[in-house]
A and B are shown apart, each in its own frame.
Chain A
Amino acid sequence: MSLVNYATREITCKIVYYGPGRSGKTTNLHHIYEQVPDNRKGKMVSLATQTDRTLFFDFLPLDLGMISGFTTRLQLYTVPGQVYYQTTRKLVLQGADGLVFVADSQARQLSENIESMQDLHANLAEQGVDVRTLPLVIQYNKRDLPADMTLRVPELEDALNFRGIPSYSADAVHGAGVFETLRGISEIVLRKLSAPAMAGSR
């Protein structure tokens, strides 16, 4: 999917929230959904189990209106974090313009974070996408939890952010850091507009 379609004057960014199960991806989307005026958002599609965990994926289309003459839309997706939904994750990942890796700050979840990050790299590699060229940011979620339960941000950076990509602290349940993260990834994705040849290559 191309980022920009000049014929129809549309910019469409597909942003996928990736990360281990229960790290707060859907919570991010819920907060965004609540903040967006009704005329700007489509129906949030969420296929979840009874225990409110994402079974397949969430989809939230956002209409940002006309910007510089272009109808600009964001399509936000989450992947199911649970290990056994590998196929759905691959499907959702296809054609993503940008990725948000939502990491769980809890100390006991560190291995799940690392595992999920490795899974992401593997899936992208399988689709022939070089992770170094794909816009990616990390969100360290659940920063509101007591300090003794969580790792400090530098520790998380050491474990997950060996490439030094932009990272954000967040408390998605209360909304802190959610829009900062979305803004961060969106701006990186939109930089590709300056290089249309690359945008059109996928």
Chain B
Amino acid sequence: MAHIESDPRYRFETFVVGTTNRLAVAASRAVAQAPGSSYNPLFVYGASGLGKTHLLVAIGQLALKLHPGLRVRYVPLDEWVDELHAAVAAARMDAFKARYHEVDMLILDDVQFLAGRRETQSEMLRLFNFLHRGGCQIILASDRAPTEIADLDQRLLTRLSGGLIVDLDMPDYETRVAILQRKCEERDTRFETGVIEAVAKLGHGNVRELQGALTRLVAFQRLGEITVTSQNVRDLLGTEAGAEVLAPATSNEFGNFLSEISVAVAQHIESWRARLGEAVAMWNERGYRTASLERALSGQDVPDVDALLQSYAASVNRLQALERKAAASDPALARSEAFRNPERLAEAEALAAGAPGVRRLPPQPEARFSRDTFETGSSNQFAVKAADAVVREPGKRYNPLYIHGSAGTGKSHLGHGIGSEMLASSGGAHTVAVLGADAFSQELITALQEGAIESWRARYRSLDVLILDDVQNLTGKGGTQEEFFHLFNALFAEGKQIVLMSDRAPRALEGVEERLRSRFEGGLVVEIERPDQSLRERLYARALNALGHEPNVDLVSYLGGRTPATATEISEAAKQLVLHLGDVRELTVAAAQSVLGRPRENAASGPAQRSVTSHVAVIVSEDGSFFLPRDKTIWDWPDVGGRLIEELR
């Protein structure tokens, strides 16, 4: 960055333009003059010593001169990689990302070093996506074309190639002479007539070598031992210089020819037709029909090209919005040809607005698990109060809310209950999804198979509330974790509520990436303990009620005393009781003993059994305020601990 502003050697004014680099220089100037709007990204490639770095820095300098305040960052790829590694090692990725997210123009040199570095590539892809979305101008340079960079991720390749790719080629004879003359002027050196031409005729194909040769001649001349003449140039410079360029340099005759023809076409074709032609080519490449532009292009009258292109772009914008809308409800619908043809805008409007009967929503909360039917006791009231706070003020209080507890303690019930409450409290305006991590993973796979990943993502990112159950099932699923990580960040940034449920605490989530675990810990982590006696009694009473039996106090007391039992186990036990008692009208303690006394097949399937009394999640003090058990609560929040106790009172 520092030398962008200061090094006067690297300016457009000091860059000698010849036929082999004219296109690259023109594109570079355009980019510097209007960053982000002409060619983005601009990819410059060419062999070593042809002026790539000169051009990149010149872009930065001119852009800074024309747009003071523009945040320009020039960085060679290996430097960027070093920074990346340092950030990873120091767990300072956020700072690293922030540093690169806050630029208006990113200039990356030597991107050929991306070859074979998969992790670096995926980080680059993320950065690229972020910057490109934000309209940041990206300029890249490499010693080879994007397609020739080994093992380049296909997604990254398409992005690198998505703008304009220009090459710098070996300078031709005339350009070499011009470069040498410029260098002599800079050094205030004069040679005999013919010397410059003789040097240019030697086979130096690369500007750096050419400058090296000149430097040696300058040294010879300054030392005064030898007078440099056109005849002794070759001897003075030794024999390593190539053969005299009499026959055409076989290097890239066709490339030179092509660039010159391009200039000729650009000069001679009517500019409005060229603009329309380029627009047609660009939109076609993006998959849009361009019949209206093509008609104007083949006409004899000069149209108002600006108006035409603006109106076309506006139509495409509208189509894209409609397509997103349609995709959110039905990815299959979004593939309709109508979304690709501005002349079928009306049809597209109808499609997007029309009856998408099979509107695909993410999984919805199940009504049978309502908040009302969730029994609260001292073992779970902390979680319940947190959940209620989340329902009242989604995204504001505890985000994410992470509820963990052993299987059967009612986490899923609570999750669905929160979801239903949120749906109800917003009058159906909120979009809510409740699903397990397995289902999430499966949906991702399906979306990938259907090629509908974008619309699937859009569907989830438009959620107001995401409730993910069985978070521990993310273990070992790298792709799902990555996808969820981005979804999490997107929702979190938008202030959307995230609720997570798991059978273990975040820190015990082995096989889940640290970046996810730390985010889970960043909100409120609460534990649901196994129900205590009074909660068990109420759970039994409710379960038997639901099955049409009215248990007496003794029975409820007996059942509640059976330990241990989770909410799920209690519901199972109630079903067993009713099933085995068959016709018996009155449930008695004795009858219950005879049924439940038998070893139950599924009793052993529960997790390790712990004494309820020894693990009290929340201690209620005499005045009713909460004290949070130190080992289960995140304490080191910024200025939240004190308020938390207040709110839960």
Contact stretch, chosen from B258-266, B317-325, B404-412: B258-266
Does A202 interact with chain B (Cβ within 8 Å)? no
Does B270 interact with chain A (Cβ within 8 Å)? yes
Cβ of A68 and Cβ of B247 under 8 Å apart? no
Does B303 interact with chain A (Cβ within 8 Å)? no
Cβ of B261 and Cβ of A72 under 8 Å apart? yes
Cβ of A68 and Cβ of B260 under 8 Å apart? no
A201 — which chain B residues lie within 8 A by C-beta? none
Cβ of A183 and Cβ of B269 under 8 Å apart? no
Cβ of A191 and Cβ of B248 under 8 Å apart? no
Does B209 interact with chain A (Cβ within 8 Å)? no
Main secondary structure of the interface of B (DSSP, over half): helix
Does A164 interact with chain B (Cβ within 8 Å)? no
Does B277 interact with chain A (Cβ within 8 Å)? yes
Does B250 interact with chain A (Cβ within 8 Å)? yes
A176 — which chain B residues lie within 8 A by C-beta? 246-248
Cβ of B279 and Cβ of A64 under 8 Å apart? no
Given the known inter-chain contacts A6-B298, A9-B281, A187-B264, please indicate yes or no for A68 contacting B269, CB distance below 8 A: yes
Cβ of B265 and Cβ of A193 under 8 Å apart? yes
Given the known inter-chain contacts A6-B297, A174-B247, please indicate yes or no for A70 contacting B254, CB distance below 8 A: no
Q: How far is the CA of A174 from the CA of B297 in the complex (A)?
A: 43
Cβ of B265 and Cβ of A171 under 8 Å apart? no
Given the known inter-chain contacts A7-B298, A40-B254, A196-B270, please indicate yes or no for A70 contacting B265, CB distance below 8 A: yes
Does A145 interact with chain B (Cβ within 8 Å)? no
Residues 260-291 of B, flagged 1 when their CB comes within 8 A of A and 0 if not, give 11101111111001111111110000000000
Cβ of A183 and Cβ of B260 under 8 Å apart? yes
Does B257 interact with chain A (Cβ within 8 Å)? yes
Nearest residue, chain A, Cβ from B285:
A66
Does A95 interact with chain B (Cβ within 8 Å)? no
Residues 2-17 of A, flagged 1 when their CB comes within 8 A of B and 0 if not, give 0010110101000000
Residues 96-140 of A, flagged 1 when their CB comes within 8 A of B and 0 if not, give 000000000000000000000000000000000000000000000
Given the known inter-chain contacts A35-B254, A176-B246, A190-B261, please indicate yes or no for A70 contacting B277, CB distance below 8 A: yes
Cβ of B280 and Cβ of A194 under 8 Å apart? no
Does A182 interact with chain B (Cβ within 8 Å)? yes
A192 — which chain B residues lie within 8 A by C-beta? 268
A70 — which chain B residues lie within 8 A by C-beta? 265, 269, 274, 277
Q: How far is the CA of A32 from the CA of B257 in the complex (A)?
A: 10
**Residue among A4, A66, A175 making CB contact with B281, cutoff 8 Å:** A66
Does A153 interact with chain B (Cβ within 8 Å)? no
Does A36 interact with chain B (Cβ within 8 Å)? yes
- In chain A, positions 145-189 with a C-beta closer than 8 Å to chain B are 171, 174-179, 182-183, 186-187
**Residue among A7, A64, A175, A190 making CB contact with B253, cutoff 8 Å:** A175
Residues 67-107 of A, flagged 1 when their CB comes within 8 A of B and 0 if not, give 11110100000000000000000000000000000000000
Cβ of A68 and Cβ of B265 under 8 Å apart? yes
Nearest residue, chain A, Cβ from B300:
A196
Does B294 interact with chain A (Cβ within 8 Å)? yes
Cβ of A179 and Cβ of B253 under 8 Å apart? yes
Q: How far is the CA of A70 from the CA of B260 in the complex (A)?
A: 15
Q: How far is the CA of A65 from the CA of B298 in the complex (A)?
A: 20
Does B48 interact with chain A (Cβ within 8 Å)? no
Nearest residue, chain A, Cβ from B296:
A6
Q: How far is the CA of A36 from the CA of B258 in the complex (A)?
A: 10
B253 — which chain A residues lie within 8 A by C-beta? 35, 175, 178-179
Report B294 CB to chain A, min CB distance, Å.
7
Q: How far is the CA of A192 from the CA of B246 in the complex (A)?
A: 33
Report A21 CB to chain B, min CB distance, Å.
25
Q: How far is the CA of A102 from the CA of B29 in the complex (A)?
A: 41
**Residue among A4, A6, A7, A186 making CB contact with B261, cutoff 8 Å:** A186
Does B431 interact with chain A (Cβ within 8 Å)? no
Nearest residue, chain B, Cβ from A182:
B257
**Residue among A4, A6, A36 making CB contact with B254, cutoff 8 Å:** A36
Report B243 CB to chain A, min CB distance, Å.
13
Q: How far is the CA of A189 from the CA of B299 in the complex (A)?
A: 22
Nearest residue, chain B, Cβ from A70:
B277
Q: How far is the CA of A70 from the CA of B277 in the complex (A)?
A: 6
A35 — which chain B residues lie within 8 A by C-beta? 250, 253-254
Given the known inter-chain contacts A7-B294, A190-B265, A193-B269, please indicate yes or no for A69 contacting B277, CB distance below 8 A: yes
Given the known inter-chain contacts A179-B253, A179-B256, please indicate yes or no for A72 contacting B265, CB distance below 8 A: yes
Q: How far is the CA of A191 from the CA of B268 in the complex (A)?
A: 5
**Residue among B261, B276, B297 making CB contact with A67, cutoff 8 Å:** B261
Q: How far is the CA of A149 from the CA of B101 in the complex (A)?
A: 70
Cβ of B264 and Cβ of A69 under 8 Å apart? no
Q: How far is the CA of A179 from the CA of B279 in the complex (A)?
A: 31
Cβ of B277 and Cβ of A193 under 8 Å apart? no
* Residue with the greatest number of chain A CB neighbours at <10 A, chosen from B246, B257, B262: B257
Cβ of A64 and Cβ of B277 under 8 Å apart? no
**Residue among B248, B250, B260, B268 making CB contact with A194, cutoff 8 Å:** B268
Q: Can you list 13 pairs linking A and B with CB atoms under 8 Å apart? A: A9-B294, A9-B297, A36-B254, A37-B254, A64-B258, A67-B261, A68-B262, A72-B265, A176-B248, A179-B248, A187-B261, A193-B265, A194-B270
Interface residues of A (CB under 8 A from B): 4, 6-7, 9, 11, 32, 35-37, 40, 64-70, 72, 171, 174-179, 182-183, 186-187, 190-194, 196
Apart from A69-B276, A174-B247, what 13 extra A-B contacts exist at CB < 8 Å? Answer: A6-B297, A6-B298, A7-B294, A64-B261, A65-B258, A68-B266, A175-B250, A176-B246, A182-B257, A187-B261, A194-B268, A194-B270, A196-B270
Which 6 residue pairs spanning A and B have beta carbons closest together? A69-B277, A69-B278, A6-B298, A193-B268, A68-B274, A7-B298
